[in-house]
Structures are given as structure tokens and as C-alpha cells.
Chains A and B, each alone.
Chain A
Amino acid sequence: MADTGSTSSVVRSIKSKAKKVVADHKHSNLILDLLKHTQSDLDHVVCASCKATGKVFCHFLSTGHLLDTGKTTVAEEDLSKEDQFCAWLKEQFTTAWEILCDHLTNPTGSIAECAMTTLVSLLEAEGKQSSHGFGPRLIEGILRQLLTSEVDQSELIELFPAVLLAWGEDSSEICSLCLAHLKNLLKEVETPPGDKYLSNVWRVLKKIASQELKDKSRRQMTAVVCRFLKLQMPTKLYREVLVSISSIMEKMSSPLMLTDFLTESFNIGGAISLMSLQGLFILMTQYNLDYPDFYTKLYSMFEPQVFSARYKARFFLLADTFLTSTHLPSYLVAAFAKRLARLSLHAPTPALYISLPFIMNLISRHPACEVLLHRTEGPYEFEEDPFQPNEPDPKNAKALDSCLWELQTLEMHIDPNVAEKAKKRKIVETDLSGLLETTVSDIMESEAKKIKKDIPVNFERMTELKMPSGFVL
């Protein structure tokens, strides 16, 4: 109790000191006290002193004492008292923001946050002045600390937009400054960088990309992103990058620079290639990227694993958009439909909620594929399915010679909704987005609600629990 009492009294004294300094410059020596307190062990004291120094220097920034006069080389004796005071103040200011920047990597979250807000307020005060003498240095200090490889700075990076907006609504100047610093910082990295460092960089990049950028900074952005993507990334971050790359792509001067990265990841296979689809799609549709074997690759991605992948919703949504074009050859679309139908034979129930409407969408967009459902010419019976499931090229899969017998099988599926969909085979286009997130619990809940009255029960008497054959209780 005594400890807390003493801390609160210290905090109070810090506040009063700050007030005194602001009120009268005579008390400026108290700044030294404040700076001393920022190195204290107690969190509250540190926080309070940070705030107090921020307040004090904000005041001095607004009064103009901290303006860079350029007379740095003049001997001390030549200076007037006022100038001497200014020089001393600058010295203190430099030490102050260095201390604050150091605090950004403080393991105690509250202190780091406090230091961040103080720095932002200093930046804001600086921004109000005509010349930004300290700005670039301040920003560099902040960035250096944010991009540390020791600590995960995701929480502080959440506050980073405040830094970007410190000089008014127009953030382009700070953004370009930041990007320039980032570029330099990335240049410095030589050894394989730590995971934390990389994720911090990516987060900062995302924050910058969320601002409006001018041409110059767009160019800088391109350079920085390219340099960043060349680095070795952990899988988790890689995925994150792929998911959010579309937002950054918009802010780049030449997104086609990402082609290499995206094609590489598309070729990796599995979930990674699944996720690179979106970026590739944007490049193809908006930036005229020519990707020769895209559909063959996409075809090869239709594997049983797709249904249990974590990004299955995104995949199906994208695949649906890829296959929207009516200019696609019908053999290709038929191959996709047939392959998905085949997969559906061994797919879990929620996946069927997507795959069946997906197939119907394909057929409704490409009337030539209706033969899959309704064949009037040719033989009445087939010895076996002409479709070649193991053929990697959709051109040779002979899907157009086949029929979707899989749907007939799925008519007997245990889920009544799936069975109904398979039975109706209505050739209509449905919006998939509502179905993508269907889970087993949704299905079960909706089924449980279906009939309320007159629940049928078994009429055969149950005298004991019936065990399946081969098992006893």
C-alpha cells in the first residue's frame, strides 16, 4: 500500500513539474527530472513521465524554441542566452524521443502504447510548424523500433495509422517518408531475418497501403514489396501475405511485378496455390496477365483435399468466378463439372451444399454442357463411363461424352437437402456466397427444426440397445 501511495505521489509531482515548466521557462531544469523518471522501474511513473515530457516538448515545439536554426557549428560563447537555452532544449528533446523510441520495445504493453501516443503527439506538434526538422528522424526512430525482430509489435502497429495521419489528413508525405525508410531498413537486412521482424514489416506495409498513396509513393511501394517478397518467409506469414496481397496490389505502381511471386506460389500446390489464386485472378482480369496453363492448373487443384481445406470457401468462390466466362470452351467446363461431380461422390456433406449448385452454375452458363444431364444422341447405354478421371488435361478427359451419373447416385444421399438438389437438377444459376460457410451444425440445427408435430417413432419394440453386427455391449 505504501508503495502505491508513493508511486501516486511521484506521479502527482511529475504532473505538477510538467505544469510548472509549461507555465514558466525558468523551471526548465525540471525537464531533467522528468527524463530521469522515464527510466524508472515503476510502470505508472514511466507512463506519467512519458506523458509529461510529451506535454512539455509539445509546448516548446509550439512556442518555436525547438526550431532548427541551422547554426549548429557556432561556438558556444558566441551564442546569446536565449540561443543557448534553445540548443540545450534541443539536446534534451533528442534524448527524450530517443528514450521514448526505446520504450516502444518495452515488454509492458501499456508503456509501449503510452510512448507511442506521446510520439504521435510530438509528431503532430511538429507537423504544425512550417519546417519539419525532427520529423524524418522521429519517423525513422519509430519505424526502427516497430520493425524489431525481437518483439511482436502487432498491437503497436494497430496504432501506426495515427503516425501516418499525424501531419493532417494528407498522409502522402509521411507515407513516402516511411516507405523510404522501409526500403533502407530492408536493404540493411542481410542474414535470414526473424519471423517476427517479417510479420512486423508486413503489417506496417498493410497499414501504409490502407492510406491514399501518390505516384511517387506507389513506386516506392512497388520497390519495397518486391524487396520484401524476395525474403524467406515462414508458411504462416506466407499464407497471410497471399490472403492480403490484393489490397496491397492496388497501391502498387506496377502490380505485374508480383507475377513471379504469385506463379511461384501457384506452382507450390496445396493450400498455398489455392490462396495465390486471388492475386493471379486480379492480375489476369485487371492487368492483362497472360497465364497459359491456368485452367489446367486449376483443374488439377480439384482434389478431395479441397473440401477439407481451410480456405475452401474462398477457393470455390474464386473458381466460380474463373469459370463464369461464357467464352470458355465447353469441353473445359464439362470436364470441371464432371470432375467436381466425381469428387462429390466422396465429399463430406457440407461440401455437397457447395458442389451441387456449383455444377449447376457451370451447366447453366454453358448450355452446350447440358448434354451432361440430357443426352438425346448417341447410344442409349454405356459399357463404362467414358470420362477419364486421372487425365491431367481437361482437353482429353472426354467429359462431354459422359453424363453426370454421380448426381443420380447422390439422389440417395443421406442428407435430404442434398438428395433433393441432386434429384431436381434445376439448371439455374445460384449465388454461392450464401452456401459457402455451411457447416454440419447449421445443417443439423435446420434439420432439427423441420418437423415439430407428429414425430414418427419406431413401432418395432426395442428391448435392448441394438449393437451393430460384430460388436457387443
Chain B
Amino acid sequence: MGKKGLSDKVRAKRKETSKHVPNPFEVKVNKVKNVVVNKKLQSWEKGLPGISRSKAVKKRKDTLLRELHHSKKSNFLLDKRFGEGDSSLTADEKMVQRFALEKKKQLQGKDFNLDDNEETLTHYGQSLAENLQDTVHSESDDDDEQAVKAVTGDLQFGGLTTNESNVSWKDKMKDIIADSKKQKYERQAQKEKVVETTSELDTIWKTVVPSFERLMQRDPPSRKPSNYMMLFHNLVMEQKSAGASDKLKTDEEKAKEEAEKLQVLEAQRLSRMKGDTNETKLKHVSADDLNDGFALEPQKHRVSFSNLSNTNEEEGLEDEENEDGDQDKEDESGAEESGEEEDEDNSDDEDEEVSDNFSDLASDENEEDDDEEHGSGERLKGSDKKVSSSGNKEATIKPILKKHETKPLDKKISGKKNSELPFVYSAPGSYEEFAALLHGHSSEEQSIILSRLRKCHHPSLAEGNKDKLENIFKYLMQYFGKLTSSESIDSMLIKSVTSHLWEMSQMFPAAAASYLQEWLLDQQKQCANSVQHRKNAMSTCVHLHTMLHLSLIEGTFPTSDYRHPVTTPALCFLSQILSECCVKSMRDCVIGLFLSAQAIQFVGLSKRYIPELVTFLHGLLVLGADENEASGVKTFPPLKANNKRHDLLQVQNKCDVSGEWSITEMRLNDSLDLETDNYRCGAIAKTVDILQKCIDLWEDLPDVAAAMKPLKEPLSILPVQNYPESLKASIHHLKMKIRETDAKKLQVMQLPAKKPEPLKLFEPKVEEFWSGKKKKGGPNRELNERQRLSHKIKREMKAAVREIKRDNEVLATHQLEVITRKDAERKRKTKDLMNSLANQEGDYKAIKRAKH
């Protein structure tokens, strides 16, 4: 309402122009020095000075002088007629109201007046009844009612000030809008009708086509096809190919695509590994670059794996699908089918394969029925087929469903037990519910439950599923934490949970990251506390679940990234444990070695340097060295020179290296005695092994010799005589390697030469869209606004001063007028008096003369 539309403006303009044309003698145009074509004249260049001045004077007289007049009066007249001061009422309305009031007043006190002297309606003083009769009779032949109405309205009732232009604009527009709406609706209805008829025709056509086909087959091909037949054939062909999809890819193509995708991913990983700085260095710099930081398009490095990997996963699984079609089906869709029907299933393998997962989903919906009808294979099969066919149709629409294929589980076990598991699970609202859902099931069953949970809540199925699935993911993480911190470790279960976790982390990398980050920070805090309290044995701050979580992080997130929100803190935490926790027992040693090996895995691709790893392994070697000789070796903290358990890893007798260490057993089984020579020897072997890997990784570092130098001393004083041959050989090899690093030549360090700065070229400032005016003001918006406002204040002030001057002028002229008028009056009066006196004197003298 507040805004004026264009139509309002146009209307107002028309009104104004039509109102009056200014007298050319009154118009004054200031002389302009330079005439510019098409330039609008400013307000001060042209105007009606005489008229506006007289207007202003008149206004002042009406207001200011009236005020002056009233200033010394104590009372004044009030106009109390109805609606006199009310501008909202039109003259007509005022009159009507006044008339009504008058009537009312007349009727008052005449309640019991029995005379029904009806009022005669008049128009311009004439009786309306007579007038009406005349006109109606005369114009009754006209067809157009509207015209009649308009004419009669004009003639008979248009007598007051109302005329056509006074009908409210709003009403007019309303009419127009209603009109257009109506037209639109009609058009739409027509269109719908057309569509209906065409579809009807189509159905008829479809019924007709088969009969024609039969006809066509019978027709001998020798006949030359007519135009009509050509068209007809075309139409038939079109109909057939309507639902065609992209061509199927061959295996080679698939493999190639996959390889390409992997290459892209690897390239991205490498770029992240190098960190962002390298990328900017490689950026091409033009010779004309002004070095002002201006670039045409900012380079974007957005790596989102989630989409890519999903498709990747999908494709990768297609192969598996072929092999495992049978099993899958049994695991999921055909879980309730008995073994006899396997053959039949094989026959419609293709159908099933495409619909595989979906049939499962669809059958989920009929879960209750299925359970009831468990025994009757026939009916079940029928329903299954139905489902599969429906799945076939929709498989093209929802191909996403395919990708949630889980690894086929052990056929024999699942075949028996799956039947007891329900197919549809509602999303657990809390971790407790989630845990309750999985409680009491075997690891295979739990895996099945998890995969079903995920399928039931796939984001493509319903609106809020994504959040639900994310919650499930979080619970699964918690579940993983609980599994790994429990007393006994179920490796199968952990394995299946891990694979689920990985798959879901592809979907929700942010959730995975935030959970693991939180876990890391929490663990780190606990560890820092234990270090502060000087209970810093490694086994007090590192538990089995810590190690397994770190493994999970390593599997889920790329450890090679230069900077990653999860793996960087994880590595930091790892290195802190290695640098701050003491080795006080064999168990600590096992943990330390595990973490060291893990650290090496973390940096396996990026070849980053971990100082803490070297110092830790150095410490282990010192612990394994001869007690007497080891006392002189310089140690790194936290290992102290006067350590109580200096012989922790010292091998006393001949021993053998044990193979792989089971971390769960060593961590959880308290009865296992680790303090034997075999384990000690194994620890030394592992240390040497890890060191070997370290050197291999860091070979290219310029100063690797200095980094490895401290290792020489403890290596040379190890009690080699008790070690098995293989360990001896590897120690020898390690020594050789270290010696090799020593031989490496060091290049002189030089700072990179500074690039000469190019001369700055100044280009003219070109504005792409020039508005025709120079832009005022600078870029500072606040300053501009302030300037604008101060300018406005100045102008307003000037205007106000001018107005006051003019007011004073008017008042002064008025006062002068009054005074002159008074003077003139007084003069006239004295003149009159003098006249009369002169006459009197004359008369008196005349009488006197007459006496004489």
C-alpha cells in the first residue's frame, strides 16, 4: 500500500498535465551556458517564480496573518457542522450525512405522527419520480444493458459530483485482475481438455497397434511402402524405443573408468599430502602479473570424496554381484525361502540380480505376512516373484539402492539363523536402544542387523532418514568404543563393525571426524593428567581401545594428508605418548612397539619425520643393551640415565624370535608371562625392524645421518651373542644402513633467490557499466552517509532561514500597511476637521462681515 506503483505514477502525471497548462508569460527559464541534449532541466533552471511567490504570500496571509490576528484574541468561532474538519469525507458524503442528520432531527419527537406524508425524492429540485419515468420509457429498446445502466446512471443519478474518473482505482484494477484470472482459467481448462483427448487417442492407438503388427508381418515386403506406411512404421518404432537407457558398459570400459577414478583420487591425495603451499607455488604466474594479489578466478581446492567413493563403491561391487548373486539373495531377499527353490531362483537370476536389494526392501514391508506364511513355500515364492518384478521396474529409478551391498556372510550359518531376525528395524533413539537391539546376537547376526538397519533408513527412502542414519552411525561408533574396551575381544564382530563404519563414514565424514576428534581430545587429556601425576607408565594411559581406535582412524581417514582434522591430532597424540610415557614393564614395551609400528604406518605414504619415534626406539635399544656399557650412553627423556629397570630388554640366554604378537592376548591376558627372554628378543627384533623401516622412509631427508646418529651407540652394545641368527643379520643390516646415511653428501643451504618484481603498469580505470554519472564518494559507506546528511542539514538550515526571513517580510509589510492605513485615515480625518473648521471660520467671518 505504501509503495507507489508505476501505474499510480502515470495516473498522477496524467492528472497533473491535464489540470492546467502554465501561462508562457509566467514561465521563467534561466539561461544555460552549455546546452546538453536530452538533459533534464534542474529545478532551479526553470520555473514559475511569480506564481510560486504569490502562492507563498497567499499561504502566509492565510496562516501567519491569521495567527497574528488571533494572537490577542481570547475566543474564536468554531465550525461545528458535521464533517467540516474531516478531510476523509468527500463533499457528497458530507452532504448525505448532513441530510440524514437533518432528517433524523426532523423525525425526533414525531414518534406518533400518523400522517404518512412520504418524502418526495428530488433531483435538482425536480421530482425524481417524474424524471425517471420519462427516461426509462424512452430508452427501453436498447440492447446493451450496461450501456443502459451507464446512461441511466449518468442521467438519473449522476447528478452529484461523482463522475467516471472518481471510481476508485483500486476497484478498477480489481476488475481487471479478475478478468485476466478468468481468462487464464479458461485457457487452462482448454489445454487440459486437449491433453485428455490426446491421451485417449493414444490408448486407442496402442490397442490398435498389435493388430497392425500382425498385419505387417503378413504383408509381403516386396510392396513399396507408401508414405502413410512409412510414418506408421516410424511411430511404431518410436514407441518401442521410448524407454531406452544408456548403453551398457563393457567390462573393459568399467575397469578403465574405475582406474581413472582411482587415479584422480590418488592425485588428490598426493596434492593434500604436499600441503597447500606447494600447490600455490606451482601456479602459473603471468608476465603481466602486477603482484597485487589480483587473480581472475580464485582456485578452488575442494575435495569431496563422498560422492566419488560412493560411485566407486557401487561399481566395484558390480563384479562381486555377479559372483555372489546367489548368496546375496539367500542372505537377504530369499532368507525365508527353503532350499528346494534354489534352482528356480537360479533360472530367473537376472531378474533377481537387478532387483536384489530392493526385493528385500519390498518384502520388508510385508514382514508380518511373510512371517505368518513361513511354511508355505508356494505362496511365498509367488509373492517374492511379484515383488521382484516390481523391483525390476523400479530398479532403474532408484539405482542407489544397489550400492549397499554387504559382504556375503557365511552361507551355512546365516541361512539358518537369519530367518529369526526381523527385517524392518525402527531407528534407535538412543545408544541404549541401539545396544539393546544388538544385544544377545552373534557377530554374524549383528552384522546382518546392522546392514538391515542401514537399508531401512537409507536416505533415499524417506525425508528424515539421513539424520536417523547419522545417529545410527554415531551409536555404532560408540558401540565400537564399547567393544574395544570390553574384557574379551570378538575379532569377527569388530571386523564386521569396522567395515560398516567405513562404509558409513563415506556418507558422513563430518560425523565420523567429530566423534573421533572428541575421542582423541578426551584420551589426550586423560593421558596428560596421568603424566602430570607422574604415573606415566605407558600402560596407564594407553589401553587396547586406544590402539584400536587409532587403527580405525588410520583406516578411515587419509593419514598422508599434510593437514587433516583427524589424522594430524591423532599423530600428535601418538607422538606425545611415545615421547612422554615411560617404559616400566614388558607390557609397556609391547604397547610402545605397537604404537611405533602404527606411527610408521601413519607416515608410510607421506614419509614425514617423527622425532619421538627415534627417541623412543633409541630408549628401547638402550634398555636392551648390556647393563654395564649402557650406563654411559646418553639417553633421551623420559628414559633416565639411572633407570631402575635398565635390564628390561636385556637377553640373558640364547633365545628365539617369536613370530607375530597378538595384541589382544598380550594386553588382556594377565596370566601371560611376558618377562621371558623370547619376548625380549622379539621386542628387540621388532625395534630393529621398525628402525629399518624408518631409515627406508627417511632416506631422502638431507640430515638423516644426524637424526640416526644416536642409534649407533646402543646398537653396538647389544648383547648380540644371545640373539638368533636372523636378528643378528638384521642388526648388521641396520648398522650398514646407518653407515650409508653417513656417507651421504650434504648440499649447502641457500635461501631461494628472490624473484625480481615486475614493473607496475598502470591501466586506465575502465568501468564496465557506466551509469552516466561520476560516482560520488569513496568506498566508505559510513563516511558517505555522514557527508550526505551534513549536506542535507546545511540545505535545510538555509531553507529554514529563508522561510523565516520571508515570514518576517510578510509581517513587516502587513504592519506597514496597517500603519499607513491608519496614517492615511488620520490625515483624512484631520483634513476633514480642518475643512470643517475652515468652513466654520469662513461662516463665522461671513456672519461677522454681515453684521458689520
Contact = CB atoms under 8 A, between A and B. Distances in A.
Interface in B577-614: 579-580, 593-594, 597-598, 600-603, 607-612, 614
Contacts of B520: 444, 448
B611 A379 contact: no
A404 B309 contact: no
Contacts of A347: 611
B498 A465 contact: yes
B221 to A, nearest CB: 56
Given A409-B703, A414-B571, A465 B552 contact: yes
Interface stretch (A93-101, A232-240, A381-389): A381-389
A297 interface: no
Contacts of B306: 457
B703 A373 contact: no
Given A308-B637, A440-B573, A455-B566, A413 B498 contact: no
Interface in B669-698: 686, 689, 698
Contacts of A305: 637
B576 interface: yes
B431 interface: no
Contact of A459 (B312, B489, B566, B614): B312
A409 B704 contact: yes
**Residue picked from A308, A374, A403, A447, most chain B C-beta under 10 Å:** A447
A348 B614 CA distance: 11
Contacts of A452: 510, 565
A459 B262 contact: yes
A447 B603 CA distance: 17
Contact of A456 (B517, B528, B564, B751): B564
Contacts of B47: none
B159 interface: no
Contacts of A443: 569, 572
B494 interface: yes
Contacts of A384: 705, 742, 746
B748 A304 contact: no
B664 A473 contact: yes
Interface stretch (A48-56, A152-160, A415-423): A415-423
* Interface SS of chain B: helix
B706 interface: yes
A348 B579 contact: yes
Interface stretch (B180-188, B349-357, B553-561, B834-842): B553-561
B270 interface: no
A414 B524 contact: no
B502 interface: yes
Contacts of A413: 608-611
Contacts of B773: none
Interface stretch (B297-305, B715-723, B791-799): B297-305
Contacts of B308: 459
A334 B619 CA distance: 29
Contact of A416 (B513, B521, B562, B702): B562
Contacts of B572: 349, 414-415, 440, 443-444, 447
Nearest to B491: A473
B509 interface: yes
A410 interface: yes
Interface string A431-473: 0000000011101110111111111111101111111111111
A196 interface: no
B499 interface: yes
Nearest to B518: A448
B521 A468 contact: no
A147 B506 CA distance: 69
A348 B564 CA distance: 20
B358 to A, nearest CB: 23
B558 A456 contact: yes
A468 B494 contact: no
Interface residues of A, number: 74
B512 interface: yes
Contacts of A469: 597, 689
Contacts of A304: 615, 634-637
A320 interface: no
Contacts, number: 271
Contacts of A308: 579-580, 637-638
A425 B750 CA distance: 11
Given A457-B556, A465-B495, A348 B607 contact: no
Q: For chain B, which range describes its interface: under 10, 10 to 19, 20 to 34, or 35 or more residues? A: 35 or more
Contact of A462 (B556, B636, B746): B556
A470 B611 contact: no
Given A403-B749, A470-B686, A346 B615 contact: yes
B471 interface: no
A70 interface: no
A2 B269 CA distance: 80
Interface stretch (B103-111, B368-376, B655-663, B755-763): B655-663
Given A304-B636, A419-B275, A454-B304, A471 B597 contact: yes
A383 B499 contact: no
B563 interface: yes
Interface string A332-364: 000000000010111111001000000000000
A72 interface: no
A447 B556 contact: no
A229 B719 CA distance: 48
A369 B518 CA distance: 44
A406 B360 CA distance: 61
Contact of B614 (A346, A374, A380, A454): A346
Contacts of B262: 459
A453 B610 CA distance: 28
B521 A412 contact: no
Contacts of B558: 456-458
A462 B407 CA distance: 12
Contact of A348 (B575, B663, B742): B575
B745 interface: yes
B751 A409 contact: no
B364 interface: no
A371 to B, nearest CB: 9
Of A374, A380, A441, the most chain B CB neighbours within 10 A belong to A441
A349 to B, nearest CB: 6
A288 interface: no
Contacts of A403: 746, 748-749
Contact of B609 (A379, A414, A468): A414
A464 B499 contact: yes
B713 to A, nearest CB: 12
A462 B748 contact: no
Given A440-B524, A456-B561, A459-B312, A472 B609 contact: no
A454 B703 contact: no
Given A444-B573, A447-B568, A448-B565, A406 B706 contact: yes
B5 to A, nearest CB: 44
B601 A451 contact: no
B506 A457 contact: yes
B275 to A, nearest CB: 7
A307 interface: yes
Given A348-B575, A440-B576, A466-B551, A451 B563 contact: yes
B324 interface: no
A375 interface: yes
B747 interface: yes
15 contacts: A304-B636, A374-B750, A382-B745, A412-B609, A414-B602, A415-B568, A425-B751, A448-B565, A455-B513, A459-B265, A459-B269, A461-B499, A463-B407, A470-B597, A472-B660
Given A374-B750, A419-B608, A451-B565, 14 more contacts: A308-B637, A345-B611, A349-B612, A374-B751, A404-B749, A406-B703, A409-B609, A443-B572, A448-B566, A461-B499, A468-B598, A469-B597, A470-B597, A471-B594
What are the 6 A-B residue pairs with the smallest beta carbon separation, nearest first? A468-B597, A462-B555, A308-B637, A405-B703, A444-B569, A348-B579
Interface of A: 304-305, 307-308, 342, 344-349, 352, 372-376, 378-385, 403-410, 412-416, 419-420, 423, 425, 439-441, 443-445, 447-459, 461-473
